[in-house]
Amino acid sequence: MPLPEFIPPMLAKIGEPFDDPNWIFEIKWDGTRALAFVEGGDYRLLNRKANPQRERYPELAGLAGLPDGTVLDGEIAVLIDGRPSFHGMLRREQARGERRVALLAQSMPAVYVVFDLLWRAGESIVDWTLADRRAALRELMGELDTDLQSTVVFSDGVIGQGLAYFEQACAMELEGVVAKRLASRYLPGKRSDSWLKIKQSRTAYCAILGFLPDGERDLRSLVIGLESGGELVYAGRVGSGLDDVRRRALNDRLRAHVRPTPFISVPSQGGEEVIWVEPNVFCRVKFLEHTPDGQLRAPVFLDTVAE
């Protein structure tokens, strides 16, 4: 039977760490989701929006050697010092031009971390339980050529011990873990509570340097800074977590401290209007990690801090 042109990947909901013998816990690989379709001695590699990824990752060409009628689900990741690198992945994703792609494939190679098998030998197995699909996937991975084993790897995990596994992931400064119910079917395109992504987060206390206004009585997001090496430095912008009540309360407080220029050096905000303020209003922000340029990745506003 011919393979489908595309299968929308199953998605996970947000969850909290837990233990349960009916669940498996895997590392949350900080990369880009991709499905591999192998047939006729060739392969297609598509991201979650069905966009081709094959030319962007030429080092994964060995996928063509997998058995005909195979569909894999996994994550393309760049590993630095054995850990997935979000910033390395961004460089690969943004690379353009055959020469540039080839250079990065050598200096910053990607791996395809496979965690599910959707078709086997030309037949759909999405209605199998996760436990059975992973058993078939493990068998398939054990038959890979030696050369392919360095670029296509199995996403292993632990059964039951989710709390300890999450703590270990946090200690290794990984993004988090994904919990999956062993008895679950694969639900293409569905966000199911049978799959849960459990992310670690950090908290920072930030000074508000300015805000992007939304009319006279509201704001859209905050420009923030934090202490580094005894100095206040730019840390990015945050809008997530600001509900209507918080935004309006902050708008009133911040407009009482307006200044004509930013208190510290701040990169251009893309031509958007910013109202700068004295840095005497502080907030608490949760985030995933610091980016190489010192900004907070995926910041979420939590609350203000008493002056």
Segments making up each domain of the chain, as ranges: 11-199, 202-305
What's the mean pLDDT in 110-138?
A: 97
The model's pLDDT over 253-273, given as tens digits with 9 standing for 90+, comes to 999 999 999 999 999 888 889
Q: How many CB atoms lie within 10 A of CB 118?
A: 24
On whether the CB atoms of residues 120 and 133 are closer than 8 A, the answer is no
On whether the CB atoms of residues 114 and 74 are closer than 8 A, the answer is yes
pLDDT attached to residue 75: 96
Alpha-carbon 21 to chain mean position: 26
Q: For the ranges 145-154, 174-183, 240-249, which has the lowest average pLDDT?
A: 145-154
Q: What is the C-alpha separation between 250 and 242, in angstroms, rounded?
A: 10
Comparing CA positions, the residue from 96, 104, 140 lying closest to residue 120 is: 140
What's the mean pLDDT in 183-203?
A: 94
Mean pLDDT of the chain: 92
The model's pLDDT over 99-117, given as tens digits with 9 standing for 90+, comes to 999 999 999 999 999 999 9
> Would you identify the CATH topology of the domain 202-305?
OB fold (Dihydrolipoamide Acetyltransferase, E2P) (2.40.50)
What is the DSSP track for 173-230?
Answer: T--EEEEEETTPPP-TT-EEEEEEEEE--EEEEEEEEEEEESSSS-EEEEEEEEEETT
pLDDT attached to residue 290: 81
Q: What is the C-alpha separation between 117 and 130, in angstroms, rounded?
A: 9
In this structure, what token pair is assigned to residue 9?
């990947």
pLDDT attached to residue 248: 85
| pTM for this model (two decimals) | 0.74
Q: For the ranges 31-40, 122-131, 280-289, which has the lowest average pLDDT?
A: 280-289
Class of the domain covering 11-199: alpha beta
pLDDT attached to residue 21: 98
Residue 307, pLDDT above cutoff 60: no
Sole residue written with tokens 């200044």: 259
On whether the CB atoms of residues 184 and 169 are closer than 8 A, the answer is no
Most distant pair of Cα atoms in the chain: their distance: 68
Residue 131, pLDDT above cutoff 90: yes
**190 catalytic, yes or no?**
no
The model's pLDDT over 30-66, given as tens digits with 9 standing for 90+, comes to 899 999 999 999 999 999 999 999 999 999 999 999 9
Strand ranges in the chain using DSSP code E only, listed in sequence order: 11-14, 20-27, 32-39, 42-47, 70-80, 83-84, 110-120, 123-124, 152-154, 157-160, 176-181, 191-199, 202-213, 219-228, 231-238, 275-276, 282-287, 289-290, 296-297, 300-305
Residue 16, pLDDT above cutoff 60: yes
Confidence bin at 20 (pLDDT 50/70/90): very high
Reduced to 3 states (helix: H, G, I; strand: E, B; else coil), residue 246 is helix
One of 13, 28, 180, 197 is an active-site residue; which one?
28
Residue 156, pLDDT above cutoff 70: yes
The residue type of 235 is A
Confidence bin at 144 (pLDDT 50/70/90): confident
Residue 122, pLDDT above cutoff 70: yes
Residue 147, pLDDT above cutoff 80: no
What's the mean pLDDT in 123-148?
A: 92
**In this prediction, what percent of the chain has a pLDDT beyond 70?**
99
Secondary structure tally for the chain: helices H, strands E = 5, 20
In this structure, what token pair is assigned to residue 62?
């060995």
